[in-house]
Each structure stands twice: as structure tokens, then as C-alpha cells.
Structure 1
Amino acid sequence: MRAVRSSLHDEVAERLRTLIFDGELAPGSFIDEPALCASLAISRTPLREALKVLAAEGLVRHEPRRGSFVNQVTAQDLDQIFPMLALLEGRAAFEAAQQASDAELQALQELHARLQRHARARRITDYYAANVAIHEAIIALADNPWLAMVIGDLRKLAKLARLQQLQAPGRLEQSCAEHLALFAALQARDAPAAQAAMHEHLVRQREALREVARSQANRIAP
């Protein structure tokens, strides 16, 4: 019985993550537990267990006597998160360059070919999906579960910002070039170069997000 309950609240937690990342549960919004229970056809127990999981991940917060809310990520949060991501994903790239097999690098090459096709066609959504798949593949190739766990938590928090760095002028082409430089270092099994390329890639992501945020603020300002 315990395994069944655990499986259910894990499923509910994943459903809530999807609602949050898709914007159906907006940053700062109140989480209406009775409405969610009705829409997901579940009882309060698995929902509350799922909310505890998301609170531990930093995606939601619980306020006594008020309930649960979707967390909001500020510019200051991103300024603190991205340097850590750059260091940690840089380390993942370093370890991936040392450990990846030829077959694994071939699979990664196919992902980069897909990335290039989407960049040339300016298919932003498809490019973003391929970009995420590449990051996840490199983290997996590092074969370091502790590193993967911390990176995964930080990436979830960064995703809360719901800002699309590829909207910045010239960022799509720049991002693709950064990925190709990173892959060249991985192919050469040059661990320090792979680490440096991944670090630079994430630093530039943060810079692009700042540019997008400034652009959005300027559009809103009277």
C-alpha cells in the first residue's frame, strides 16, 4: 500500500510541475487544493504529499493559515542560480568528456545535428527542446548522480522564471555556435575546454535573459 501511495503522489508532483512550467499555475498564484483534487480526481492526501515534494524543490511555498503558493523567481535569484549552474554544468561537461563512449558521442552528435536544423529553420520551440535534451544528455554522460541531482533542482528553479532567452536578438545563432564549440571539445575529449565552453554558454544564457527582461519591461512601461 505504501508503494502505491508513493507512486501516486510522485505522479501528482509531476503533473503539478507540468502545470507550473506551462504557466497554468502562474508564479505567485494560490494553489487551490479542492479545485486541484477535483480536476485531478484525487484525494487531499496525495496532493499534499506532492506539494511537500515541490516545496522541497523550491517550486512552491507553504504559508501557515494561508495555504500553498507557486514560488516566484526574481532577477536576484537568477543572478545567484546561473553562476552555480555554470559551475556545476561545467563540471558535468568536464566529466562527460572524460567518460563518454564513442557510441554516446555519436548519439550526442545526432542531437546537435537536430539542433542545427531547428536553428536554420528558426523553429524556436523545437530548438529549445533539443537544447534541453542536449543538456540532459551531457549531465547523464557525466555519470555523477550527486551532480545531476543538484543541477536538476537548480534547473527547475531557473525554469520558474518563464523567460525565453532565445527571444533576445541574435541569441539563437549565438546559442547554436556555443553548443557546437562545446560538442567539438567533447569530441576531442578535451575536458577543460568542454568545461569552459559549458560555463560560457550558461553565462551568456543569463545575459540573454537580462536582455529579454529589459525588453519586456520597456514594452510595459508607459
Structure 2
Amino acid sequence: LSLPLSLPPSFFSASMWTVYLGKLLLGRSAPAEEALRVSRLLLHHYYDAETHDYDLALLRLERPVAPSTLARPACLPSPAHLYEPGLLCWVTGWGTLREGGRASDKLQKVDVRLVSQEACVRSYGYMVTPRMLCAGYRSGGKDACQGDSGGPLVCQEQSQSARWFLAGVVSWGRGCARPDYYGVYTRITKFTSWITEHINS
């Protein structure tokens, strides 16, 4: 694994970025965590900062890393992989614990349910494109928040293998955990071919 996924908040150059594996606390280092420099940053060529469409980038690490007990990769889904609305998934990050609040020093996780594309469009209208995916609750209460952008939305396969797949990457939303407004994620199945092409090159 040498190409983790992230989203582009405001990229300048690869040398400005460091990837941490196994990090739980932002404010201090732990013996088990690993820091790696980024040797190349590839922003999707159709990325639109205003609409958040094609909101995805690849980071090439200075060297490959092996999975460990503290940092394991999620599987990349095939373009045909289907995620059923209602599936319980997880999002992680160090973002604010509530809208307008302070960032967390400890890595947080929250469970959210996938919603249909129709429900997503009812929430946001024309702003939702086929390359976006919504998750959360109509009643609000649980969501990613400011500072979580680029974080993973992972879902566990409902089969014997029980593998974890990367379904989305935190992209945008209206506030945090507001009723009637879901979190919006980059839909990874729409980018599997692009990701694979650049990993192989």
C-alpha cells in the first residue's frame, strides 16, 4: 500500500504533507505510529472547488508500507460494487465534535447509515452529482464535521468474508449533523478505474 486516499482542502505541494499511520492522538506521538513523507500528490483533473465534484486526490508515499495491527487498509471496491441504503458504515477523523466547536485531539469514529441517491438529492438538490454519496440520519445527530474532510467512510461487507471497503471520503455538507441534511462523500466506486490506473502507473 503506497497510495492512500485523501481529499484536497487546499493543496500546494507534496512536500508540505506527512502521512501518519497508527496515530490516535494529534497532540503527541506514540512509539507505534509511523510518519511518512509524500513524494507525489495527484489531484483529480476534473476537481471543482466550488461544487466539490471529483473531490479526490491520491498521495504517493516515499516508500511502500506493510499493514500492521494499528493501520490496516480498506479494500478498494469494484466499479460495480453496490452499497444498499441503510447499510451501517463508519467515518473517522479529528474534526470538531459539534458544529462550530473545537477539534478533537483524539481520533473519533461515528456510525452513519448510507442513504439512497434520491434522498440525497432531496436534501441538496442539483448540488449532488453521481460522483457523490450521502450518509447519516434524517433526524441528524451523527455526522462528520469540520476538519474531517478527506477521512474515510468504510463499510463492512455483509458476507462471510466480512471485508471492510472504502465506500466514500468525507467531502462536504450543510453544517454538521443537522436534521434533513446528510453528510456528503466522494463515491469511490466512480473512481476505482482512475485510482487503479494511477496506482499501476
What's the TM-score, normalizing by structure 2? 0.28
More helix per residue: 1 or 2? 1
Q: Taking CA–CA contacts closer than 8 Å with sequence separation of 6 or more, which of the two structures ends up with the larger relative contact order?
A: 1
More strand per residue: 1 or 2? 2
